[in-house]
Amino acid sequence: MLEQNLVTVGKISAVFGIKGWLKVYSYTDPIENLLSYDRFWLEKDGQLQTVNIDAAKRHGDGLIIHIESVDDRDKAKEYTRWQIKIAIEQMPSLGDGEYYWHQLQGLSVYLHNKQGKPPILLGKIDYLLETGANDVLVIKSNHKSAVNSAQEILIPYLPGDVVMSTDIEAGTMLVDWQIDE
């Protein structure tokens, strides 16, 4: 059950130097927020282990970390491509109408029907993309009830404009978006 209470906040991308340091790609915004968590789990190929980070710092436009007792390049290399996870409970609370990406993934997305008919199921949110201007919902659609039979539908995540409502408890999102037929 522990895995269900974990969320991925970054990944180890490469070794750094010869003393066991590792380059980290952070999914947090700003990236330094990754370093504010107390406890980390690393996961790769279904294997999960806890680690203690005994040193970490910003380096260029990224981060580097040092795992306790990992003091050479060869040992550090074993950790490349591992996902960095934290317990969901460690994440700060958000305000009303704010969501973490992991909360949106898996929601069923419905297209608002302006003719007063029931909304049309487009599919489920597979993941989100960060584009700079705004985040983008990537919706997996694999059934004919969707307006568009494409496997992926990209919709900008613009609450109050494109995204009309989000109900985490019900697992749904309602969008106002034009789909090519």
Written as tens digits, the pLDDT of the chain (181 aa) is 455 689 999 999 999 999 999 999 998 888 898 888 878 899 999 899 999 899 999 998 899 999 999 999 999 999 999 999 998 888 888 888 889 888 999 999 999 877 778 888 999 999 998 888 889 999 998 655 445 555 889 999 999 999 999 999 999 999 998 876 5
Q: Are 32 and 56 in contact (CB under 8 A)?
A: no
Strand order in the sheet with 108-111: 152-156, 135-140, 120-130, 108-111, 172-175, 163-167
Residue with tokens 């330094």: 32
Distance CA 90, CA 73 (A): 30
Decide: helix, strand or coil at residue 103: helix
Query: What radius of gyration do the chain's Cα atoms show?
Result: 20
Decide: helix, strand or coil at residue 69: coil
DSSP secondary structure code for residue 93 in this structure: P
Catalogue all structural domains in the chain, each as residue range(s) with its CATH number. 2-90 (2.40.30.60), 101-175 (2.30.30.240)
